[in-house]
Chain A
Amino acid sequence: MTTAFLIAAIVMLVAMVPPGVVLCRGDLPASVVAYEFITSVAVMVLALLAQAFRRPSEFEFPVLLAVLLFGSGLVFVRVVERWL
Chain B
Amino acid sequence: MARDIVADILLGLASLVVLGASVGVAVMPGAYAKLHFVTPAALVAPVLVTLAVLVQAGLSQNSGETVLALVFLVVASPFLSHATIRAIRVREQGDWRENKR
Contacts and interface: CB of A to CB of B under 8 A. Distances in A.
A11 interface: yes
Interface string A30-48: 1011101100110110111
Contact of A77 (B23, B30, B72, B87): B87
Interface bracket on A = 35 or more
A19 B26 CA distance: 6
Given A40-B41, A41-B41, A56 B88 contact: no
The DSSP consensus for interface residues of chain A is: helix
A66 interface: yes
A74 B74 CA distance: 15
Interface residues of B, number: 51
Given A44-B46, A81-B87, A51 B15 contact: no
Which among A28, A29, A46 has the greatest number of chain B C-beta atoms within 10 A? A29
Contacts of A43: 46, 69-70, 73
A15 B25 CA distance: 10
Given A4-B7, A51-B53, A70-B80, A60 B65 contact: yes
B11 A5 contact: yes
A16 B38 CA distance: 12
